[in-house]
């Protein structure tokens, strides 16, 4: 008997296709797990039961008449609480938006529904998506699957936890500085950060529109490829034709390899050896423009503060103090400094592409640290600031440079390896990711 909770989204879709299980039975299995779990309230803002049942029943009818809309038709998916779901409160984890109930689904939820995905519920997140840790004392803080005393990673914390704990088949998150990839890595999952503008942000509560992206958190690279095709309305990415033996990978030297904790360092070292053994040609490179981009620390808080200034200034007491301080960090930045930084960043992006275009991809440890302790983050301000900066350090490279990136698990808990490709090269990135998955997870 197939257990829907233990297989990947693509495997569940295959089970539907082969009539091994029907979508309503699978949904009931997830409902049962959600009801019995002691973690549900820490992971889900809301389970959209009535909608999910209706969508699963429709998927069952299509299955019966061999009219499935695609390989994920009937698969239950959770949604981070910044994606508008018609008739359901959507607040991005903040009391600033309490009572906000959209009348329409966001654009990508419409695409998901057309493709038969079942809307299982909405998941907790860092407040207004402005943290890489996932700590949210305002609402709930989901735990890490490998350490219940640690945070799950943010800001798509509940998204990753819903999949890691078997309470969703897949999850949709957002990534402005690492918010898909950090929780994916810390919970031994696959996370895809798409190229800026590749996936619609219509109906998605913004943090920083110049860097906001959408992507899946899933169990396998195949799952990521299937959901990517749904979210973009593009044809399926074929992961089979090019195995990439002999492909060229670059290890990004410099900041990305500095101050790694022991386990992430070992996981990356072993992953590089596995990729080399698999047939990849790997060499280390230095790209000064990466370091220059990382120094532009004012860009995100400045734009984020501009986005939320009115709400924040009207009710700052409704916010978690540490998140509030991050927003206020952008309040006094001069317009001239911000504009110069944006112009400089465009130059760094072009230079980066020129220097790495001879390689198939660039690799680096997804996160230099393991998930930090929940209680210490709440009580120790310096610890919170340092851990948040370290959590985001490597992932934000891809956001600043406007490229796509994928994190895949290693053989060490809560340690991921990231693969970064050029802008709009998600198809190639996913094929590379599938090869790396085969090489590393033996």
Active site residues: 80, 155, 179
Structure tokens at 305: 């503060």
Residue 129: partners with Cβ closer than 8 Å, 6 or more residues away? 82, 92, 93, 154, 155, 174, 176, 179, 205, 207
CA-CA distances (angstroms) from residue 21 to 2, 35, 63, 133, 231?
Answer: 7, 21, 10, 37, 25
Distance, CA of 433 to CA of 440 (rounded, Å): 10
* Displacement of CA 188 from its chain's centroid (Å): 12
Nearest to 198 by CA among 232, 171, 225, 227: 232
Give CB contacts under 8 A, 24+ apart, made by 97-104: 97/205, 97/311, 102/203, 104/203
Structure tokens at 108: 């990508």
18 exposed, middle or buried (CB, 10 Å; 0-12, 13-18, 19+)? exposed
Q: Which residue has the tokens 């996370």?
A: 191
Q: Under a CB-based contact definition with an 8 Å cutoff, are residues 218 and 205 in contact?
A: no
Distance, CA of 308 to CA of 247 (rounded, Å): 44
Q: Under a CB-based contact definition with an 8 Å cutoff, are residues 2 and 9 in contact?
A: no
Structure tokens at 326: 């991050």
Q: What is the DSSP letter of 219?
A: S
Q: According to DSSP H, which parts of 18-48 are helical?
A: 23-36, 40-43
> Can you count the helices (H) and strands (E) in the chain?
17, 13
Q: Under a CB-based contact definition with an 8 Å cutoff, are residues 414 and 436 in contact?
A: no
């Amino acid at each position: 008997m197939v257990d829907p909770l233990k297989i990947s989204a693509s495997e569940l879709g295959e089970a539907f296709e082969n009539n091994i299980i029907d979508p309503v039975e699978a949904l009931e299995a997830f409902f049962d797990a959600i009801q019995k779990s002691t973690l549900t309230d820490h992971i889900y803002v809301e389970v959209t039961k009535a909608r999910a049942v209706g969508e699963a029943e429709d998927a069952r009818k299509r299955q019966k008449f061999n009219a499935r809309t695609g390989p994920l038709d009937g698969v239950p998916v959770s949604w981070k609480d910044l994606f508008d779901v018609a008739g359901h409160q959507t607040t991005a984890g903040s009391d600033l938006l309490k009572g906000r109930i959209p009348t329409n689904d966001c654009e990508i939820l419409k695409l998901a529904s057309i493709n038969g995905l079942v809307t299982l519920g909405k998941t907790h997140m860092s407040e207004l998506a402005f943290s890489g840790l996932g700590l949210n004392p305002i609402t709930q803080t989901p735990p890490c699957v490998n350490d219940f005393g640690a945070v799950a990673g943010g800001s798509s914390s509940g998204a990753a936890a819903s999949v890691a704990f078997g309470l969703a088949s897949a999850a949709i998150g957002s990534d402005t500085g690492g918010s898909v990839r950090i929780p994916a890595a810390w919970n031994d999952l696959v996370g895809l950060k798409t190229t800026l503008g590749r996936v619609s942000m219509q109906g998605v509560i913004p943090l920083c529109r110049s860097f906001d992206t959408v992507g899946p958190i899933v169990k396998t690279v195949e799952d990521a490829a299937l959901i990517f095709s749904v979210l973009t309305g593009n044809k399926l990415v074929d992961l089979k034709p090019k195995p990439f033996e002999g492909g060229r990978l670059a290890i990004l030297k410099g900041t990305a390899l500095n101050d790694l904790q022991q386990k992430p360092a070992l996981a990356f070292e072993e992953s590089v050896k596995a990729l080399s053994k698999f047939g990849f040609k790997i060499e280390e490179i230095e790209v000064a423009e990466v370091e220059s981009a990382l120094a532009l620390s004012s860009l995100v808080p400045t734009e984020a503060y501009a986005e939320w200034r009115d709400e924040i200034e009207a009710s700052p007491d409704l916010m978690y103090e540490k998140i509030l301080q991050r927003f206020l960090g952008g309040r006094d930045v001069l317009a001239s400094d911000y504009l110069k930084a944006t112009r400089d960043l465009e130059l760094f992006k072009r230079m980066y592409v020129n220097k790495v275009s001879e390689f198939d991809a660039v690799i680096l440890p997804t996160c230099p640290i393991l998930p930090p302790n929940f209680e210490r983050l709440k009580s120790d301000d310096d610890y919170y600031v340092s851990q948040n900066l370290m959590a985001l350090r490597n992932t934000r490279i891809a956001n600043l440079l406007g490229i796509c990136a994928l994190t895949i698990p290693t053989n060490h808990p809560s340690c991921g390896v990231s693969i970064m490709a050029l802008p709009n090269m998600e198809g190639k990135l996913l094929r590379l990711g599938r090869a790396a998955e085969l090489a590393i997870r033996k």
